[in-house]
Structure 1
């Protein structure tokens, strides 16, 4: 494995470990420490995602205009500062709703600049010794990236499962150490002067160019629309309903962490299979089938499985989510021209995570006035309807990727 790929994967793993801890800590602090109701939990979860609506496109424009490695390193240090601030506050008093929302917004702003810059480094890491990339090489690097992401998240969630024994302070210190390590690896990937000379443009002009480029590509346009649906329905439901179900089962933070670990375990297994077998040359069809499988899983969970059954279904849900994410991100990497790559990545991520913020609010509202299981049932029905509509459309379903040098 080339040195630059090892550095990239190490940095990606560090940020993912911190994310895995955050995924458990933030909602569990809100539910068990601050004792927030479902609707306010939805607001806390949405506070991490809402900044994507404002800053993701600016993050993509910045990563296209500057060295993406330097932007990723600075964003990692920003996340470190956010966790350090919560650690300092918690040393004096228990957080409340406004503090948790401020903390979530701060995390969201830094993440909005980290994501497009970090994913932009895929092409740099996949490059052969001759400076070329191939479609199969990019797909394989994306799969390795997903393995680093899910493996890091799994480790972070495993550490978070010790919340009741280690306490919040120790886990926040681990987050900060992982982000410091990630910043160092990303910074080592800097390549000054790699960008082509171009006239200086305002960020809004760069964003408009990226949006126009995405609109000109039918398969990418349909993929972005599908990711917006997935974010609103699937991620939004996952963020809000899963901790509520864990609380209803009354098994503590360890059980919620186990559910998350089951989900991530499924993602790791699916990613390992894709590393062995490849992603295939019809990624659009695979993405649509993942939508169908997600619908079936949501409906199955809505029937109220046993605690162990819910863990198994979370494993399957994770496998489907990993396959969909890997295929979608590989399509964006392959369809995006070099000069627009970070902006198209940011548009893709904005559709996914921006809509997830709205989905979290909707899931919190529905779960406040109805049972969380009813929220899952409606999400599954909506997914079935979306699959039926997209199954007969053209661009994404017929997208074929052949072997070609870039």
Structure 2
């Protein structure tokens, strides 16, 4: 493996490990430490995602205008400061709803600048020794990136499963240390020629140019619309309903965090298995068809979970859900990397991420509100029905289905 790719994967896996910890820590601090109800949990989860609606497009424009490696490294330092701030607050008193909301917003702002800059490094690390790259090479690098992401998240979730024994302070300290190390690896990827001349254009002008480029490509336009749906329905439900189910399944035993972490680990185990399979077999010449099938499988899994499986059955279904989500994410990000023009890539990546995570914030609010007044299983059933309808609509359109990749 080339040294440049190794540095990229180490930096990427470090940021993902911190994310894996965050996925468990934030909702479980809200539920078990602060004692928030379902609707307020939805607001806390949404607070991490809502800043994407404002800052993600600016993050993409900045990454196109400056060195992506430097932007990603600075975002990592910002995330480390956020976790360090909550750790310091814990040394004085327990947080409340307002503190968690402020913490979530700060995390969301830093993440909005990290995501497009970090993903834009794929093309840089996919080059061979002569500086050339191919579509198959980019696809393989994307798959390696996804494996680093899910592997890092798995390690973070394993650590977070010790929440009941270690407490949040130690785990927050781990996040700070890991993000500082990740910043060093990502910063080492900077290039003197990475800055692109864009004149004196205003950030808003750069954003409009990126939107125009994405809208002018039917396959990208359809993919981004589908990711907006996935974020609203699938990620929103996952963020809110899964911890609620974990709390219900664990009962009064006081080990809800461990079971929730186990569900997350089952999900990540599925993502790792699917990513390794893609790494060995490739993403194929028609990745759009694969994304459509993933949407159909997601609908079936959501409906199956809505029937209330046993704790072991829920773990197995979460593993299958993770495999489907990983395949869809790898295929979608591969398409974006290949279809987006080089000078607009970070901005189109930010649009893609905005569609996914911006809508996820709204989906978390909707899932929290629905779960407050109806059973969480009912929320899952409606998500499955909507996924079936979306599958029919995208299948009928055909732009995404017709994407062909030259290997």
Shorter-chain TM-score category? over 0.9
Q: Equivalent residue for 2:69?
A: 69
Q: Which structure 2 residue ranges, 5 or more long, are not aligned?
A: none
Contact 2:5 2:126 in 1 (8 A): yes
Once residues 121 and 315 of structure 1 are traced to their aligned partners in structure 2, the CA distance between those partners, rounded to angstroms, is 29
Matched-pair contact (CA < 8 Å) for 2:68–2:194: no
CA contact under 8 A between 2:66 and 2:196: conserved in structure 1? Answer: no
Q: Which residue number in structure 1 is paired with residue 17 of structure 2?
A: 17
Q: Does 1:344 align with 2:309?
A: no
Structure 2 residue corresponding to 1:299, chosen from 303, 311, 315: 303
Residues 65, 196 of structure 2: 8 Å contact kept: no
Q: 2:327 aligns with which of 320, 323, 326?
A: 323
**1:100 corresponding residue in structure 2:** 100
Matches within 5 A, 1:218-367: 218-250=218-250, 251-367=255-371
Residue 166 of structure 1: CA displacement?
Answer: 1.1
Give the Å deviation of 1:195.
3.3
Q: Cα distance, 1:234 vs. partner?
A: 0.1
Q: Secondary structure at 1:20's aligned position in 2? A: helix
Q: Any idea what SS the aligned residue of 1:391 has?
A: helix
Unaligned runs of 5+ in 1: none
Deviation, structure 1 residue 196: 3.8
Judge conservation of contact 2:65–2:197 (CA < 8 Å) in 1: no
Question: TM-score, normalised on structure 1?
Answer: 0.99
The Cα shift of 1:304 comes to 0.2
8 Å CA contact 2:12, 2:148 repeated in 1: yes
**Match for residue 115 of structure 2?**
115
For 1:128, the equivalent position in structure 2 comes to 128
- Return the offset for 1:342: 0.2
Matched with 1:139 is 139
Deviates more, 1:99-108 or 1:247-256: 247-256
Alpha-carbon distance in structure 2 between the residues aligned to 1:399 and 1:393 = 12
Is the 2:138–2:334 Cα contact (8 Å) retained in structure 1?
Answer: yes
Task: Give the secondary-structure state (helix, strand or coil) at the position aligned to 2:72.
Answer: helix
Q: Which runs of 4+ in 1 moved over 6 A?
A: none
Task: Report the Cα distance in structure 2 between the residues aligned to 1:340 and 1:252, rounded to whole angstroms.
Answer: 44
Q: Give the distance between the partners of 1:27 and 1:167, measured in 2 at CA.
A: 14
- Separation in 2 of the partners of 1:287 and 1:200? 39
C-alpha distance in 1 between matches for 2:271 and 2:398:
28
Question: Is 1:373 equivalent to 2:377 in the alignment?
Answer: yes
The CA distance in 1 between the partners of 2:51 and 2:306, in whole Å, is 30
For the pair 1:395 / 2:390, whether they are aligned, the reply is: no
What whole-Å deviation, never above 9, does each CA across 1:170-216 have from its counterpart, x for those lacking one? 10111011100100001100102233433121100000000000011
Query: 1:27: which partner in 2?
Result: 27
Alignment deviations for residues 75-111 of structure 1 (CA, whole Å, 9 cap, x no partner): 0000000000000000110010000000000000000
2:205 and 2:198 map into 1 onto residues whose CA distance is 13
How far the C-alpha of 1:2 sits from its partner, in A, is: 0.5
Could you tell me whether the CA contact under 8 Å between 2:48 and 2:106 is conserved in 1?
A: yes
3-state SS of 1:392 partner: helix
Q: Distance in 2 between matches of 1:390 and 1:113?
A: 30
**How much does 1:391 deviate?**
1.1
Quote the RMSD (CA, aligned, Å): 0.6
State the 1:167 CA deviation: 1.2
TM-score, normalized by length of structure 2? 0.98
Q: Per-residue CA shift, 1:366-387, capped at 9, x if unaligned?
A: 0000000000000000000110
Residue aligning to 2:199: 199
1:49 deviation in Å? Answer: 0.1
1:148-172 deviation per Cα after TM superposition (whole angstroms, max 9, x unaligned): 0000000000000001111111101
Q: How many Å separate the matches in 1 of 2:185 and 2:194?
A: 18
Equivalent in the alignment of 2:91? 91
* Matching residue of 2:389: 385
Q: How far, CA to CA, are the matches of 1:252 and 1:317 in structure 2?
A: 21
2:396 partner SS:
coil
